[in-house]
Structure 1
Amino acid sequence: MAAVSASALPVVPLGPRTVVVAGDDAGPPPRVLAQDADWPLLAEPTSGSRTGTHALRCYRLLLDGELGAQVERVVVFGRPTLSRPVSRLLARPDVEVLAAPGRGVWADRPFPVDGAVDAHTRPEGADDPAWLAAWQDADRSVSRQLDALLAAERGLTPYEVAGAVGRAVPSGGLLFVGASSPIRDLDLMLRGYAVGDRRKLVANRGLSGIDGVVSSAIGAALGRPRSTRSIALMGDVTFLHDSNGLVLGPDEPRPDLTIVVVNDDGGSIFSMLEQGAEEHAGSFERLFGTPHGVDLAALCAATRTPHWRVDSLPELEHALASPHGGIEVVEAVVRRHDRRDLDARIRALRP
């Protein structure tokens, strides 16, 4: 791990082809820097930076293409953890990395760092607008292709669920996202929000990201009582791991919270990783797919939690547009058997 120098650059000079990466809890500074310099902004959903005109939706797909290969410098804020393309970019020996110091006990960076910036760092001026325009044009092209690909799929896809949930969060709203696939699906589907809309996106991350997600989402909704709307997005295994979070005492406060559970009867994220390769098919289901066969409607009935089951995008959008108050569960049923193939076709998209 590389520690960032305590001496931060007051001004970032122009010249190298630069992108700004905003990881978890980065806040507004990367968005301001990207706008002032006219640099592309690669912002994770929980960065607090995915706002304004410079944030790109499909950046992780573009990083594996021609534009990604042209990057010469990265300015990093927050903790980027979601995508392998970003990790590969930060590890490239031909890329200069400038980073704001990490906050908290573990301030070191798990990638080489060449210099420091902070919230007050500004660019030398506006850079060549052609660099940003190339990224924005490519992002629009890949976004259109992605939407068309998903619309042609049979049945509801996890990506469409994430996109619908992201669109349903109003200005001043709260979105709590579970670990594993949902936060990564949201990363690919979430378009930039308007600056100043004050949406709060929170996610359970790290080695214990699956722990206590239902309870944490309820706590987050209670802790932000003036939210215009509170929604949680999580997978079925994550939901089951903390389903007893729905058990609240009769005198305990209950927030207005819509919990969207993406149910593919197991752990789809592993099908997209090395474990999902054909040579491991014989043992995949038991070790990584982990089908459970749980009737979520019956589980919710046991705690008197309202439950809706949807299996199409119009049904999901209708359910999200019609909250009934209190804690409610919307079960979005999707397929898992072809998730690896769908992921491969998405990663193959190019401008």
Structure 2
Amino acid sequence: MAIFRKLFVFILCLILSGCMMSECSFAEKVSVEDMLYAMPAREIIAVECNTGQVLFEKNSCEKTEISHLAKLMLVLLAAEKLKSGELSLTDTVTVSANANSMPAPQIWLDKNEKISAEELLKAITIGNANDAAVALAEHIFGSTDNAVTQMNRKAKLLDMKLTEYADVCGLDSRTVADAADTAKLASELVKYDILTDYFKTWIDRVRSGKAELVNLNRLVRTYKGISGMKACSSSAAGECSVVTASRGDMEVAVVVLGCTDRSMCDDIAQKLLDMSFDMYSLYTPEISEDMLDDIPVEGGEKNSVPVTFGELFPVAVPSGSSGSIDISFEKEDILTAPVEMGQICGKLICRNGTETIYTAQLVTNNAVKQKSFKFCLEKLLLYLIKI
């Protein structure tokens, strides 16, 4: 049985590298689970960034070394500083001896060299440069130790449970994460438009043209709608890729860790993006006007209260299923004062077959006090005055 399973996996790998699912009749008969199993990578995940929903995954919660992908957290912290105004792309950074001592990949920064923060950011996002990462971290946080502390703090805020940073470059074997955590990080990074051009750049130069940057993520040249993000490799981590792309309202982040071949790693990332966009779409229930009609209030200072669902966020559903989604709605006929603002007064439930795919609570949009003797007396006096 083991021989047959290995043969099956080998055939699937040939399919992945040689043809699209829609073009291969054999592939159409293969389950998604078998296809994911056949992909030669240690961890795989595809996540819809807007919703955080996992679309596909294989072994995505296993702690492993992540090599240069650690730099993505440093880039996120830099983007936050740029947004807040604490960092400017035109900032001049003085290169330290520590940054100068970093191993390849690098842009060969000299000790005491002056370079802009933007060039360092380019060198990190496009070229994985270790010396640039250390120089930028020291400029923003004063030291790499302080930078690592902030990187770990941010990881906790993003609920990246298995992520631990021991350095800013990903060279330390104690710098670890998993595919699921890395997808959360990618989903946060795509919110910063200022980074998109850097992540999508194929080739650039810094240091007055002396250092060339070449993006290892070849999908930036070929994949429609790509927005980033980073590819890297090391003996411990293997070939790794984080790729994000958008199509319509969907934004998808794919993480591939521990692949043995660069081309296969790219192919897996592309297939997962294709599968995500082909097999899923975003759905938000339509709200009819009567759902938002005011609800009468008994015994209150006001006769009715407005209601709202608040902001309705989309969910990813199988493509073509939106027409068959069953929507049920319940709403209180009348409320008794006192009524609190935000009080639950109804519920919307969307089902696809027997599966509940969406729930939203209807809540009051104002408070209504209970009638008091003083209120009733004032109303009576106003009525008498009008007469």
Q: Which protein is bigger by CA-based radius of gyration?
A: 2
Given the two structures, how large is their TM-score scaled by the length of structure 2? 0.23
- Compare relative contact order (CA 8 Å, sep 6+) and give the higher one, 1 or 2: 1
More strand by share: 2
| TM-score of the pair, normalised by structure 1 | 0.25
